Chains A and B, each alone.
Chain A
Amino acid sequence: MAGIAVAMSVPHDDERDLLRHLPLTGSGFWLSVTVLAIGTSALFYGFALQTLYGHAVTGQGSHGAIWGIVVANIVNFIGVSHVGIAISAVVRLLRLKRYQQLARLAEFITLAAITTAVTNIGMDVGRPERFIQNVLWYGRYTAPFVWSCTVITTYVCGSSVYLYLAMRRDLWVCETKVPSRRWFYGLLALGYRDTPASRARHNRVVWWLAVVILPIMVSVHSVYGYIFGLQPGRPGWYNPFQAPYFVLGAIVSGFSTVIVSLAVLRKTMRWEQFFPPRIFKGLGIFLGFVTLLYMYFLFSEYLTGTYAAPEGERVVFHDVLFGRFAIVTWSAMLGGMLLPFGLLFLQGVNHRIVSIPLTVIAALLINAGLWTIRTVVVVPTFYHPLLPWDVAPYTPALAEWCIVFGSFFFFALLLLVLIKMFPVLELPEAEEDERVAVRAPRMPLWKLAAVAGSAVAGVALIATGVGNRLQPEFFHPPVIWLSGIILLLSVPFLICVLPERLRPPVFRVPSVGPRPVASHPANAGRCLASASHRLVLKAPLHAIPGKRLRPFQ
């Protein structure tokens, strides 16, 4: 036992701080869980209203707003989800050490936001009970909704694998450092061995995954742009510009959400030492820059829409800028973009101003502004159908507000759960410099075959799905190509998780002094077998010398 105690490194002060957020203690935590759970119940209350009384409880109508604020909310959360992995991937690819501790929090924000968005989609459609099944089973390749299902699945699987592999070593560390949840982290670490070669392999795989994930992430929000931009019958939407516009909007709202979440967590989790104000300033400068870019996009769109556009377009944009939506639009543009941009600009150009509250206020305003702008993207077109039908004015109803506000609580609750379950901050590696020197060993043949087999099977399935896209009733292509994508994304996972040898090497606890008879594993087994009927085993099994032990336990 002495050897085990020596092998387990004593928790470092720094590591203790890094893992301080994990235990489920403190009145603050339980209070926040309660508040967030109550808020989340609003989401399900709104959904229950819709299910019980029909979508008529919303303010929408066929001769009215066919889509309402819930769709704007979906776009918002898809946008927020966009940025987590972006930050993480960029931090990794560009080696931005200063922002390294932000990466995993951003990834958690991605997962929480995309779950919220998909929940919202499920609540907005008319038949939630069959929407996922039918889209997967009967999906048509021409439909943006099917593209969206494909890219979201790819994104969720890709980012989960990315998140897991980047976090695997920390899970393994937690196995020893957080004794209360030892089995949980032990299970999740999936037999990780902290060798320089293994670290090198993980780093390399995660780096490549980051390269792959960035374009996937752009595709996710582009598809949402296409859902609107490919509608020739909708003035105000039909626009090739929609995809990059949505991607940019996603970056803006995602960044502001990351800033707000980070500020809240920094305060509540006492992470001041890991996130100095300089980080907020840096994020603020970038947020200001993308907000400026977004304003430029908005200006272009509004100018094109009002200058000499076809009548159908012009009435919509006129309504947005000077008509019934003017108050909403201008307050969002001035209060939610120009003002926060000014604040961030002031902070950016003046090296003496490094203010977290200022950055957070700007980020909050931008978040609200962007959300509002999205409703102004979704709703006004319904007031101006191409044929002169009477249109019922749209006022969002209680059920919709419940879903929208409940979503924010739901998002925060998911985020809190993730933070409490997993190590958010990256734990330092003892041998930081080893990474460069050590190369991962060549994979054994069987492992190579498994990995290559998954890759080939994945590509083959994708090709089969896409190739048979014209017979959706018979082949169910989306299921086939999604299975292929999942299989393909399992490749990095397999590379890291499959062991290097089929039989792991035996690690023996070094013993001092003369070795007892049973110290050799084979001898131990033999002795135990012959003496078992006479022995009452007092010591726990793992204390027997020579018992297979995982390193440092």
Chain B
Amino acid sequence: MSPTRRGFLGEMARAAVGVGLVPDPVSAKSPGEGPVRHKWGMVIDLDRCTGCQACAVACRAENNIPVAGLVDTEKGRGIFWMNLLTTSEGTYPDLRQQFLPAPCNHCEDPPCTKVCPVGATSQSEEGIVQQIPDRCIGCRLCEVSCPYTRRYFNWTEPDWPEELREQLNPDVSVRPHGVIEKCLFCHHRIRSVKERVRAEGRTLTDADVRRLPACAESCPAEAIVFGDLNDPRSEVSQLAESPRAFRLLEELGTHPKVIYLREAKWRE
């Protein structure tokens, strides 16, 4: 195509303002470029869940979540990376309770990372919405922006009873007062299993990660499955295609990577 004056002027104008319009390298990358990365996701089968809260307890122990105490918990200051959202259907005596284990949804388009002023929270290349406590300034904008209320502020210095202090996990750092923390899909476990697999000279399989996070490992009903959503043969990918599958607040367009299964419709 021969250069036209209009085209040339347009180019010049673009060059003049172009300094402010560098394309976003993340969005500019076309799909399929480079090696296929993992995209970690979780499927929680609500029809299997018994509401035993083993997942929540295991999560606390694994991730050194401090004990808030009675008063602070009542004031809504307890920290629960994994929490059971309990709702009731019907009225007594035809009362039915539904339980929904709720970790962070690790949204594909997370509202929380966008509002963080200091980059303390961001999305990893494997889709995990991560948090850097040392960077966080505690403005709580991410907590405010999360439509699922899955982020927690440390309202006090972390504290544990003496006996619990003995079992703190050395793989997970303890977060100080004044910063945000959240579920990280037990990324320290993902890292260690990757190292183990590499040492054994093989590739990561679905069986290696299926019960990897503490919540999935502890679930007696095996309601929680973890895996790679980019691998079409993984159990999570197949379960995500189930007609029972739904995501929380799908209408917001955040594209959560935690998928729930339920025969009956979930009612919020």
List the interface of chain A (C-beta within 8 A of B). Answer: 53-56, 59-64, 66-67, 124-127, 130-131, 134-135, 138-140, 142-146, 149, 227, 230-234, 385-392, 463-464, 466-470, 472-473
What are 21 inter-chain pairs, A to B, with CB distance below 8 A? Answer: A54-B154, A55-B138, A56-B75, A59-B75, A62-B151, A66-B143, A125-B138, A127-B136, A130-B137, A131-B137, A135-B118, A140-B119, A142-B115, A231-B144, A232-B252, A233-B147, A387-B85, A387-B148, A388-B85, A467-B19, A470-B22
| B residues 108-155 in Cβ contact with A at 8 Å | 111, 114-120, 135-141, 143-149, 151-155
Q: Does B241 belong to the interface (CB within 8 Å)?
A: no
Residue of B79, B137, B140 near A134 (CB, 8 A) is: B137
Closest 4 A/B residue pairs (Cβ): A126-B138, A233-B147, A126-B178, A61-B76
Expressed in whole angstroms, the minimum distance between the Cβ of A396 and any Cβ of chain B is 12
The reply to whether B149 and A145 contact each other, CB–CB distance below 8 Å, is no
Name the CB-closest residue of A to B267: A388
The answer on a CB contact under 8 Å between A388 and B77 is: no
In the complex formed, the residue of A with least CB distance to B83 is: A389
Q: Which of B65-115 contact A (CB under 8 A)?
A: 72, 74-79, 85, 87, 102, 111, 114-115
B252 near A233 with CB under 8 A, answer yes
**Do A64 and B252 touch across chains, with their CB atoms under 8 A apart?**
no
Q: How far is the CA of A270 from the CA of B20 in the complex (A)?
A: 53
The answer on a CB contact under 8 Å between A144 and B115 is yes
Say how far A178's CB is from chain B's closest CB, in angstroms.
Answer: 43
Cβ of B24 under 8 Å from chain A: yes
CA distance A469 to B19 in the complex (A): 10
Q: Which residue of B lies closest to A473 (CB)?
A: B119
Contact of A62 among B20, B79, B249 (CB under 8 A): B79
- Chain A interface, >50% SS class: loop
- Which residues of A are found within 8 Å of B24, using beta-carbon distances? 470
Partner of B117, one of A135, A232, A464: A135
Nearest neighbor of A468 in chain B, beta-carbon distance: B22
Complex interface: chain A residues within 8 A of B111 (CB): 231-233
Chain A neighbourhood of B87, CB < 8 A = 388
Q: How far is the CA of A470 from the CA of B26 in the complex (A)?
A: 10
- With beta carbons under 8 angstroms apart, the residue of A144, A230, A231, A385 that contacts B149 is A385
Chain B residues within 8 Å of A67, by CB = 140, 144
Residue in A closest to B21 when the chains form the complex, CB atoms = A467
Select one of B76, B116, B148, B177 contacting A140, CB under 8 A.
Answer: B116
Smallest Cβ-Cβ distance to A135: which chain B residue: B117
Task: Give Cα distance in the complex from A472 to B141, angstroms.
Answer: 19
CB contacts (< 8 Å) of B155 on chain A: these are: 54-56, 60-62
Taking CB as reference atom, which chain B residue is nearest A140?
A: B119
Question: How near does chain B come to A274, taking the closest CB pair, in angstroms?
Answer: 43
Closest CB in chain A relative to B161 CB, distance in Å:
17
CB distance from B260 to the nearest CB of A (A): 12
Contacts of B143 in A (CB 8 A): 62, 66
For residue B249, which residue of chain A has the nearest CB?
A386
CA distance A469 to B138 in the complex (A): 22
Which B residue's beta carbon lies closest to that of A472? B119
Q: 18 new A-B pairs (CB below 8 Å) besides A126-B139, A233-B146, A468-B22?
A: A54-B154, A56-B155, A66-B140, A67-B144, A127-B138, A134-B117, A134-B118, A138-B119, A142-B115, A144-B115, A145-B115, A386-B147, A387-B85, A387-B148, A390-B76, A469-B22, A470-B22, A470-B24
By the criterion CB–CB under 8 Å, are A127 and B137 in contact?
A: yes
The verdict on A232 contacting B138 (CB below 8 Å), with A54-B177, A59-B75, A143-B116 known, is no
Neighbouring A residues of B252 by C-beta, 8 Å: 232-233, 386
Chain B residues with Cβ under 8 A from A54's Cβ? 154-157, 177-178
Q: Are B248 and A55 in contact (CB under 8 A)?
A: no
CB pair A142 B79 closer than 8 Å: no
**Quick check: B178 and A387 within 8 Å, CB to CB?**
no
Distance of B95 from chain A, by nearest CB (Å): 15
With A61-B75, A62-B76, A127-B136 known as contacts, the answer to whether A143 contacts B148 (CB < 8 A) is: no
Known: A62-B152, A467-B19. A143 touches B141 (CB 8 A): yes
Please report the C-alpha to C-alpha distance between residue A235 and residue B141 in the assembled complex, in whole angstroms: 15
Is B200 in contact with chain A by the CB < 8 A criterion? Answer: no
Using Cβ atoms and an 8 Å threshold, which residues of chain A touch B135?
134, 138
- From 214 to 256 in chain B, residues with beta carbon under 8 angstroms from any chain A beta carbon are 248-249, 252
B179 interface residue per 8 A CB criterion? yes
Q: When chains A and B are docked, how far (Å) is the Cα of A464 from the Cα of B19?
A: 8
Contacting residue for A125 out of B25, B78, B139, B248, CB 8 A: B139
Contact among B19, B74, B248 with A466 in the assembled complex (CB-CB below 8 Å): B19
Residue of B nearest to A392 (CB): B76
Q: Are A463 and B118 in contact (CB under 8 A)?
A: no
The answer to whether A131 and B20 have CB atoms under 8 Å apart is: no
- Is the Cβ of B268 less than 8 Å from the Cβ of A388? yes
CA distance A131 to B77 in the complex (A): 22
A146 contacts across to B, CB distance below 8 A: 117
Bound: A134/B118 CA distance, A: 6
CB distance from B187 to the nearest CB of A (A): 19
Say which residue of A63, A126, A466 sits within 8 Å of B20 (CB atoms).
A466
**With the chains together, A61 CA to B68 CA distance in Å?**
11
Interface string of B143-185 (1 = CB under 8 A from A): 1111111011111110000000000000000000111100000
Residue of A nearest to B18 (CB): A467
Query: A144: which B residues are within 8 A, CB to CB?
Result: 115, 117, 141
Q: Which residues of A contact B177 (CB under 8 A)?
A: 54-55, 126
Inter-chain CA distance A134–B139, complex, in Å, is 12
Assembly CA distance A54 to B72 (angstroms): 11
- Please give, as numbers and ranges, the residues of chain B lying within 8 Å of A233 by CB-CB distance: 111, 145-148, 252
Residues from chain B with Cβ under 8 Å of A125 in the complex: 137-140, 178
A140: chain B residues within 8 A (beta carbon): 116-119
> Judging by beta carbons under 8 Å apart, are B156 and A53 in contact?
yes
CB pair A387–B144 under 8 Å, yes or no, is: no
B153: contacting residue among A66, A138, A472, CB under 8 A:
A66
| Contact indicator B249/A126 (Cβ below 8 Å) | no
A64 touches B77 (CB 8 A): yes
Given A66-B153, A467-B19, the answer on whether A135 and B137 have CB atoms closer than 8 Å is yes
The interface residues of chain B lying within 8 Å CB-to-CB of A388 are: 85, 87, 268
> Taking each of A54, A131, A234, which has the highest tally of chain B beta carbons within 10 Å of its own beta carbon?
A54
Do residues A463 and B79 form an inter-chain contact, with CB atoms below 8 A? no
Known: A64-B75, A470-B25. A389 touches B85 (CB 8 A): yes
B86 to chain A, nearest CB (A): 9
- CB pair B19–A138 under 8 Å, yes or no, is no
User: Across the interface, which residues of A come within 8 angstroms of B179, CB to CB?
Assistant: 126-127
* Contact B136–A126 (Cβ < 8 Å): yes
Nearest CB in chain B: distance from A130 CB, A: 6
B119 partner residues in chain A, CB cutoff 8 A: 138, 140, 472-473
Distance (Å) between the CB of A230 and the closest chain B CB?
8
Closest Cβ of chain B to A438, distance in Å, is 38
A387 touches B25 (CB 8 A): no
Residue pair A127, B19 in contact (C-beta under 8 Å): no
Report yes or no: A392 in contact with B85, Cβ–Cβ below 8 A: no
User: A66 to chain B: which residues have CB within 8 Å?
Assistant: 140, 143-144, 153
Q: Contact partner of B154 among A126, A134, A463, A469, CB < 8 A?
A: A126
Instruction: Write out the residue numbers on chain B whose beta carbons fall within 8 Å of the beta carbon of A139.
Output: 117-118
Contacts of A135 in B (CB 8 A): 117-118, 137
